[in-house]
Structure 1
Amino acid sequence: MKKEELPGRRVLLRGAALFALTATAGCVGTDRSGAPARPSSSPGPAAGAQAARPQKPSTYRLQPMTGSGPQRSAAGRTPVRSKPILRMGGRSRAMVLTFDDGPDPNYTPDILRTLRKHDVRAMFFVCGEMADAHPDLLRRMADDGHTIGNHTWTHPQLTRLRRPSIRDEIERTSDVVEDAVGEPPLWFRAPYGAWNRAAFQIGAELGMEPLAWTVDTLDWREPGTGTIVRRVLSGAGPGVVILSHDAGGNRSQSVQALRTYLPRLLDEGYRIGVPSRMGV
């Protein structure tokens, strides 16, 4: 299959990726922070850069999957992986909190306030439709020092799409993030954890590393605040990546659970931060 050419403005990013993560990513314990339901309609590849109107999300999930593909590394390029990163290496008792599907004005601001209260940084894997509708929330994330990741435009199962559609889903989202905060995302998460070779290759071509998760809170099922808290605390450990959601349905339990488990994790000596692609 013919390899698509990268947009010119991404050349510098690809060069910077020379110092990117190796097989395991590090975690910056800065003391500062599956898969979700998404909008029902999907713009086709022909939609190009034209923004689609956000649609009302539905609530559906699949079990996480990993795809297969060759390991590849070239000078100035992000390596193409055969599976996503599941946990972080580096400092002991360092953890990463991640939130998918947003930003949603009903829940994301509450999560941001809680993280700010405890001076913690997190990762937000945003969907293009939601990000395009709420760029102000992207800017708040960036201003607070959080990491913004790419979670596709409409949250489809990528393994069911043709390569041009996969690229459209991923690239349009990176463009929206860059337009809002001045730089494209360096991390990518496939909806439902459904990865394939094309997703790994396209993500790498756009300068992004693939990040999955270690602990799934299953908060999209709305199991109750106490259950979400127990899943986080029981799964806590060095290098653990926690998956939660700030959109895609009623996320009030997720908001409340964060208020409970975050101070407890900090009291137990965990350093909650965001992963670093440098100095590993």
Structure 2
Amino acid sequence: MEIILWIGFYFLTFYAFLPALISRIFGFRVFMRGKSKTEIALTFDDGPDPEYTPKLLDLLKQQGAKATFFVVGENAERNPEIISRIHEEGHILGIHNYVHHSNWLMRPRTVKRQIHRTSDVIKKITGSRPMYYRPPWGIVNVFDYANLGYLQIVLWTSLFSDWRKKIGPDKLYRRMRQKLKPGQVFLLHDCGSTFGADRDAPANTISALERILDDGRQLGYRFVGIDEMIEITERAKKKKNSDHRTARKSTMKSSEGEEAAVPRIGPLKKVIVSLWMAYEKIFHVVFRLRPVGSGHFFNYRIRRYSGPPLDLQGDQTLRSGDRIMEIHFENQMLFDLGMNSKSTLQIGIRIIREMEKALPEMARELAVAPNGDQVRALYGVSMIHRGSESLGYKTFELPRGLFAWTTNIYLRVLMRVIHPAGNQRVREKADSLNPRMLIMPRDILLTWANDDRAKRRPVRERATKSDAAKPSNQGAETQELVSHFEEGSIGKLV
């Protein structure tokens, strides 16, 4: 059952949910919001409709407004004269698939065929192919980024549920009026024949839009096609970047000799980080992770171990089917830790301290966690190869297979994300970056539950005891652990 959950989880996450989330939150590979002083973009989906689209075109012509029509291919094929009119009157034509189906429910090849077929229909009518694409419901899948590189994906800033007739023109107008600002990309509909829409809902849209166009003209706004909005936005971005470069040069000259600030992350890294954070949130929900203490650094779940037998200590053996407490690092805190640290050494020291702080809380969680009384060991996967024994862990090689391979890739991506010089570390230390299982037997974990035990920063604190021989060895052990971080191992319990 868990295998089925994993397959479904990965499919929904990486094929469907995350691409849509990243596009919507970060605007990755999509145009969503303009940067303009007076312009607003009107966009209409699902048409053309033989009754309502001509009425809408009459209104736009009367008001001197331009718009963008993301048309459904089969509707365009049935109404070529309307497509021709849209083009001749200076509006922009875009693609909205050949049929109004979600990209999440279609294979990448099917989506590609839908788009090409619609493009062919529009070219046959107008003589030119469209450059813009809006997927139905704004939903993209992971392959759309690669397959649709020649098209600009366009989303929106505001939609108003205008496909529902019961809203009425007055309420629809008030909703639109609240969003009437420069840079907005309005999503409206000129056809009510798609699934979930009301057939005559576009009548309300046209009525409300007439008042909006009047208001916009009085405010000095212009209603433009998406092509002009994108062009204006690109000019604004170039000017802003130019101003930033000038300001940066000035700052560098005035602060010559001072230590450089932590570099800002680039667009690609932002995408990776956002995917990583979204993945974590979904994983937490699907597999019901629980927080350790405040949950700022660690989460856990109780599950059954499914690997080969592992000899722990004495005659203890962890076998497949035994329950384990699986620890997961909180990604947001790990990222903040990496971005606010100047070196791997600082990251390593902080991780060591946080693990020591959390171990008593992990031990106490066994008393309240479901099936906690059956847990045989604390379990995690990390790139820390040495030094974890000082906390009570025993390390084991990951068994070769799909899990080890994917974990290795994930942890290397992680290092690139959180490490100040992650790319260089991965290139230089590739051979030594091999994740291992870290296992702490239950009886050792339970000793951490005793607050009277001198264990916080155990190596350093025990150095104050009367036995002078131990502090030297343990101090060396701590130095070995810290040095290991410096040698290229960022810990990540997954």
TM-score (norm 2): 0.39
Give the match's secondary structure for 1:99.
strand
Residue number in structure 2 paired with 1:118: 63
Q: Does 1:141 align with 2:86?
A: yes
Q: Is the aligned partner of 1:230 residue 2:174?
A: yes
Whole-Å separation in 2 of the counterparts to 1:141 and 1:274 = 12
Q: Secondary structure at the match of 2:143?
A: helix
Q: Give the letter for the 2:118 counterpart.
A: T
3-state SS of 2:163 partner? helix
What amino acid is aligned across from residue 244 of structure 1 in structure 2?
A: L
1:201, distance to aligned residue in structure 2 (A): 2.4
1:123: Cα distance to partner? 0.4
Paired amino acid for 1:192: W
Deviation at 1:86?
A: 1.2
Retained in 2: the 8 A contact 1:244–1:254?
A: yes
Match status 1:212 vs 2:163: no
More RCO (CA 8 Å, sep 6+)? 1
Partner residue in 1 for 2:16 = none
1:194-209 equivalent positions in 2, closer than 5 A = 194-204=139-149, 207-209=150-152
Which letter does structure 1 place at the counterpart of 2:209? L
Deviations 1:155-196 (A, max 9, x none): 101012111111111111111111111111111001011112
**Aligned pair partner of 2:72 in 105, 109, 127:** 127
Structure whose alpha-carbon radius of gyration is higher: 2
The CA distance in 1 between the partners of 2:21 and 2:147, in whole Å, is 13
Quote the residue 1:262 is aligned against.
213
Match of 1:271 among 219, 222, 229: 222
Q: Deviations over 1:253-277 (max 9, x none)?
A: 1121122211111111111111336
1:189 aligns with 2:134: yes
Post-superposition shift, 1:82? 3.5
| Paired AA for residue 87 in structure 1 | R
Mapped contact 2:95–2:118 kept (Cα < 8 A): yes
- Whether the 8 Å CA contact 2:157–2:186 is kept in 1: the answer is yes
Identical-residue share of aligned pairs (%) = 31
Q: Give the SS at the match of 2:85.
A: helix
Do the aligned residues in 2 keep the contact of 1:82 with 1:200 (CA within 8 Å)? no
Using a 3 Å threshold, how does the CA distance of structure 1 residues 153 and 147 change in structure 2: closer, same or farther?
same
Equivalent position of 2:28 in the other structure: 82
Judge conservation of contact 2:67–2:226 (CA < 8 Å) in 1: no
Q: Distance in 2 between matches of 1:116 and 1:203?
A: 32
**Cα distance in 1 for residues equivalent to 2:169 and 2:231:** 36
Root-mean-square deviation (CA, aligned residues, Å) is 2.0
Conserved 8 A contact 1:200-1:210? no
1:178-230 C-alpha deviation (Å, 9 max, x unpaired): 111111111100101111222232222xx210110111021012211011111
Tell which deviates more after alignment, 218-227 or 105-114. Answer: 218-227
Q: Which residue of 2 aligns with 1:76?
A: none
What amino acid is aligned across from residue 30 of structure 2 in structure 1?
P
1:239 aligns with 2:183: yes
Structure 2 counterpart of 1:54:
none
Aligned to 2:187, the other structure's residue is in SS state strand
Give runs of ≥4 in structure 1 deviating > 4 Å. Answer: none
Between the aligned partners of 2:50 and 2:147, the Cα distance in structure 1 is: 30
3-state SS in 2 of match to 1:269: coil
**SS at 1:210 equivalent:** strand
Tell me if the contact between 1:67 and 1:82 (Cα under 8 Å) persists in the aligned partners. Answer: no
Q: Is the 8 A contact 1:215 1:241 kept in 2?
A: yes
The answer to whether the 8 Å contact 2:95/2:134 transfers is yes
Distance in 2, matches of 1:229 and 1:200, equals: 35
| Whole-Å separation in 1 of the counterparts to 2:180 and 2:133 | 23
1:55-94 alpha-carbon deviations (Å, 9 max, x no partner): xxxxxxxxxx82558xxxxxxxxxxx835221112x3021
Higher helix share: 2
Aligned to 1:99: 44
Runs of 5+ unmatched residues, structure 1: 1-64, 70-80
Task: Give the match's secondary structure for 1:96.
Answer: strand
In structure 2, stretches of 5+ residues that fail to align are 1-18, 193-198, 235-494
CA–CA separation in structure 1 for the residues paired with 2:20 and 2:30: 7
Give the Cα separation in 2 of the matches to 1:226 and 1:109: 22
The letter for the 1-side match of 2:37 is: S
Question: How far apart are residue 149 of structure 1 and its match?
Answer: 0.6
Q: Which residue of 2 aligns with 1:59?
A: none
CA distance in 2, matches of 1:200, 1:256: 37
